[in-house]
């Protein structure tokens, strides 16, 4: 699966890998923007629209390599996940519960996901190779 798209803004990188059968969205770096809606929402909406019913493929959204996000970033992420759900896109959101800020934020998302038909939120440890320094 090759990178189709890369979004970068102020320390945040979102990489999109896509094949004919699935898609993966990997969050890296940090998101500390005061108004992440202005930059994140257009990008995330375009992704969700790409994977609407009929063209739908399973999507994995992986936050394990993500170093940090402020509370303002949570809303665009929730909107993205809800938009994928409404479009009928089977989505798996992965976080690392051993990282305290991820555990706190994704516990909330896990609760919300119980009301969504197509969303699964789960914790998995990071791949050890991602923890090594280059």
- Which CATH number goes with the domain that contains 106? 3.30.750.24
- Domain range for 60 is 2-131
Residues found in the chain: 134
Average pLDDT over residues 1-15: 86
pLDDT at position 54: 62
At 31-74, the pLDDT tens digits run 998 898 898 999 999 999 888 766 678 999 999 999 999 989 99
Whether the per-residue pLDDT at 3 is higher than 80: the answer is no
Q: Provide the percentage of residues in the chain whose pLDDT is more than 90.
A: 63
First to last CA, the chain: 22
Whether the per-residue pLDDT at 131 is higher than 70: the answer is no
Whether the per-residue pLDDT at 110 is higher than 50: the answer is yes
Report the number of distinct structural domains present in the chain: 1
């Amino acid at each position: 699966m090759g990178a189709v798209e890369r979004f970068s803004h102020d320390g945040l990188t979102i990489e999109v890998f896509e094949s004919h059968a699935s898609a993966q969205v990997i969050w890296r770096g940090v998101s500390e923007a005061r108004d992440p809606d202005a930059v994140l929402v257009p990008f995330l909406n375009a992704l969700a629209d790409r994977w609407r019913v009929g063209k739908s493929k399973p999507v994995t959204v992986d936050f394990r390599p993500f170093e940090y996000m402020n509370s303002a970033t949570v809303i665009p992420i929730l909107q993205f996940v809800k938009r994928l759900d409404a479009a009928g896109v089977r989505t798996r959101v992965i976080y690392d519960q051993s990282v305290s800020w991820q555990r706190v934020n994704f516990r909330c998302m896990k609760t919300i996901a119980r009301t969504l038909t197509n969303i699964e939120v789960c914790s998995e440890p990071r791949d050890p190779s991602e923890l090594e320094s280059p």
